[in-house]
Amino acid sequence: MHILLTRPEADARLSAEKLSALGHCCIVAPLFEIAPTDEHKPHGDFSGLLATSAHAFDAPEQFQALRDLPLHLVGERTAEAARRAGFAHMRSSAPDGEALAESIGKGAEHFLYLAGRERRPELETQLAAQGHRVTPWIRYETRQVAHLPQTAHAALLGSKIDVVLHFSTRSAALYRALACAAGLEAQALKPVQIAISARAAQKLAGAGKIAVAPTPDFDGLLSALKAL
């Protein structure tokens, strides 16, 4: 199948390698770029760390004083990035933020959250409700492109895409908005749309076929792809 990937460049290339190994042809058209911030680490006495993205560890030299703290994280790729950055004390992991908060449970810990500027609130909200304190350290931000990338524009115009993988609600909404702006909404919704969550799928209403990943990660998207 010809699969459109709209993730940031580095993430899309990793996904493309795995999909290509399965015999698929990937079209990489990033709708976002990941940029580090210049924010300094907040002051505080922290009992643990939170991370929900591998991008939290893009500058490992900044973590020298934090590597002995227990780390709670979302996703295997995040865990791999943490190991490369020198973290060894991984206390818990989960497929998403809500599940991670549930695994941590009630308490009164103070967590330093290695976070992105744009993020879903569930992890912080749920941990606060469980008695914990969370201080975000904004490590990176995602910046969206202004126009549909030429690779996606040409592929949609030529009906060369069979499947579009959507890794977030934000990317699904932006994909549709940029396609509309380019006069290609019908072409954009013609391929099978595989969304990482029901929330992301809602942004694609009206598409010919929409599938939702059984788990909110790459493996879930891949499972939905195999089920087509």
How far is residue 21's CA from residue 150's CA, in Å, rounded to a whole number? 25
Q: Write out the DSSP string of 121-150.
A: SHHHHHHHHTT-EEEEEEEEEEEE-SS--H
Class of domain 2-31+145-226: alpha beta
Which pLDDT value is given to residue 92? 85
More confident residue, 15 or 92: 15
What's the pLDDT tens digit per position in 76-133? 889 999 999 999 888 888 988 999 999 999 999 999 999 999 888 999 999 999 999 9
Which pLDDT value is given to residue 62? 79
Phi and psi torsions of 156, nearest 5°: -70, -40
What's this model's pTM, rounded to 2 decimal places?
0.78
Which pLDDT value is given to residue 96? 87
48-51 and 71-74 as β-strands: parallel, antiparallel, unpaired? parallel
Per-residue pLDDT band at 26 (split at 50, 70, 90)? very high
Which pLDDT value is given to residue 88? 83
Q: Residues of CATH 3.40.50.10090 domain(s) within the chain?
A: 2-31+145-226, 37-141
How far is residue 104's CA from residue 99's CA, in Å, rounded to a whole number? 9
Q: How many angstroms separate the Cα of 138 from the Cα of each of 17, 83, 113, 153, 199?
A: 29, 20, 8, 33, 24
Query: What is the average pLDDT value for the chain, to the nearest integer?
Result: 94
Mean pLDDT of 66-81: 91
Match domain 37-141 to its CATH number in 3.40.50.10090, 3.30.70.1560, 3.40.50.300, 3.40.1130.10. Answer: 3.40.50.10090
Per-residue pLDDT band at 64 (split at 50, 70, 90)? confident
What's the pLDDT tens digit per position in 129-170? 999 999 999 999 989 999 999 999 999 999 999 999 999 999
CB 147 within 8 A of CB 123: no
Which pLDDT value is given to residue 23? 96
How far is residue 26's CA from residue 5's CA, in Å, rounded to a whole number? 7
CB 142 within 8 A of CB 8: yes
Residue with tokens 């103070």: 110
